[in-house]
Amino acid sequence: MSTVIRVLIADDHPVVRDGIRAVLGTQPDLDVIGEATTGSEAVDLARNLRPDVILMDLQMPRLDGPGAIAQIRARDPHARVLVLTTYDTDGDITRAVEAGATGYLLKDTPREQLFGAIRAAARGETALSPSVATRLLARMRAPQAEALTSREIDVLTAVARGLTNREIGRRLHISEATVKTHLLHLFAKLDVADRTAAVTVAIERGIIRLDR
């Protein structure tokens, strides 16, 4: 007999949760044992229910997906969290992977691929959407100097939204001097000379996005 995989769904949209539950319900070896509507609730349910796989959206209220993943993995290093989202920029992928995500899927993933990814995650294997795998490979093959850290991406995203260095420092809980250092580093990596050019290049390359 095959082992039943216990799944926790973490998504703040009821319709999405209902759809995922219905789709997974067609598989005898996949059992949805809980649903979380916020990142903090996902952390609590992961601790209390001990699911085999957690399907996690990135954009969650109170605590976003990467933040929830980091907390879940801090409490249980063996937790398997599979990101299921609509976002696929370098920044989104980087934050999720650095937080400890087991895999990264887009919500337009065919159901058979979703089933396979959940089963792979339960075995401790990495599961990626084709477009995400392509981005990661391109990032790995690119010169190391071009790769921005997650903190640099956070700073650049804030710059793109019009925040000053002081405001960025307050938001990210770092000093204004540290903000300037991050800017200098990312300018060098993107081969640009100013903030405007950095934002333009980052958006063109899909490193950041502002439509959220």
Q: CATH assignment of 5-140?
A: 3.40.50.2300
Q: d(Cα 25, Cα 39) in Å, to the nearest integer?
A: 23
Q: Does the global pTM surpass 0.75?
A: no
From the candidate CATH numbers 1.10.10.10, 3.30.420.10, 3.40.50.1820, 3.40.50.1100, the one assigned to the domain spanning 144-204: 1.10.10.10
Do 74 and 56 contact (CB within 8 A), yes or no? no
pLDDT digits (tens, 9 = 90+) for 82-131: 999 998 777 788 888 889 999 999 999 999 999 999 999 999 898 888 88
Do 154 and 166 contact (CB within 8 A), yes or no? no
pLDDT recorded at residue 119 = 95
pLDDT recorded at residue 10 = 97
Neighbours of 23 (CB within 10 A): 14
Burial 63-79 (b: 16+ CB within 10 A, else e): bbbbbbbbbbbeeeeeb
pLDDT recorded at residue 2 = 56
Query: Which residues of the chain fall short of a pLDDT of 50?
Result: 1, 144-145
The domains of the chain are located at: 5-140, 144-204
pLDDT recorded at residue 146 = 59
pLDDT recorded at residue 143 = 52
Do 18 and 42 contact (CB within 8 A), yes or no? no
Neighbours of 91 (CB within 10 A): 20
pLDDT recorded at residue 137 = 67
pLDDT digits (tens, 9 = 90+) for 33-45: 999 999 999 999 9
Do 71 and 49 contact (CB within 8 A), yes or no? no
pLDDT recorded at residue 145 = 44
The continuous run of DSSP H or E covering 203 comes out as helix 195-204
54: β partners? 8, 81
Residue spans of alpha helices (H) in 33-148: 39-49, 65-75, 90-99, 111-122, 130-141
pLDDT recorded at residue 98 = 85
